[in-house]
Structure 1
Amino acid sequence: MYERRVITKSEFHYMRVSLDVQNPAKALPVELTNVYFKQAVTAALTRLFGDIGGAMVAVDVLKYNEGDRSAILRVHSHNLVKLWSALTLTDRYMSRKCAFRVHQVSPYLMGLAVNSREYEHT
């Protein structure tokens, strides 16, 4: 017997984000590696939700590009709004003005493979 199953809710959400720094020439006192990027995300959560609230939101950096300071983050679906709001409201990291830009969000990692807004047909 054939049974059709439709998954309506994903356990995780994936985000493609980047960190823009106001003065890139003398931007940060350290190179922004994946460890510092994760720390910036954690600092944003802690700043908005406090120590306990920030610690309860588990965020994984799946892929990080040091060149343009962009990353793919994975977060549990029930914490997506918390992470998104913390990143949106961030204005400083290491006493430098900065802003997180959320480029794409998807419940499936494959959804971040193609961006229809940047697609060019040749």
Structure 2
Amino acid sequence: MKAIEIRDHTPEKRHDRKLFKRIAGAIAFTLALATACGIGWYAGAKLAYEQKAAEISKVHYVEEGETLWDIAAGLSSDDQDIRKVIYDLAKLNDIAPDHGLKVGQKIVIAK
């Protein structure tokens, strides 16, 4: 008796290649979307920083003999404690309240 060999001549699993392409496309799309979101977040954060910087409206240049008390006296209203104004100025400019100022030094004054 003769043995008969049966061979399958259909192409090998083409659907696996299509699945791979779909997965690769989904990964590429996800990476592109994540990149776009990251760029958008960065632009929003940068805009917020620029708006915050724009809120700082005045810069006072220290004149001879001026102290934080003198600068704060011109900024504080009658009902406001001058010590609070001095504290805020010192904190905003990252200096100590009793720090000696130099002529020409920039003191940032918030709105």
Same fold (TM over 0.5): no
> Quick check: which one's strand share is greater?
1
Query: Using CA pairs below 8 Å that are at least 6 residues apart, which structure has the higher relative contact order?
Result: 1
Alignment TM-score, normalising by the size of structure 2:
0.34
Choose 1 or 2 for highest CA Rg: 2
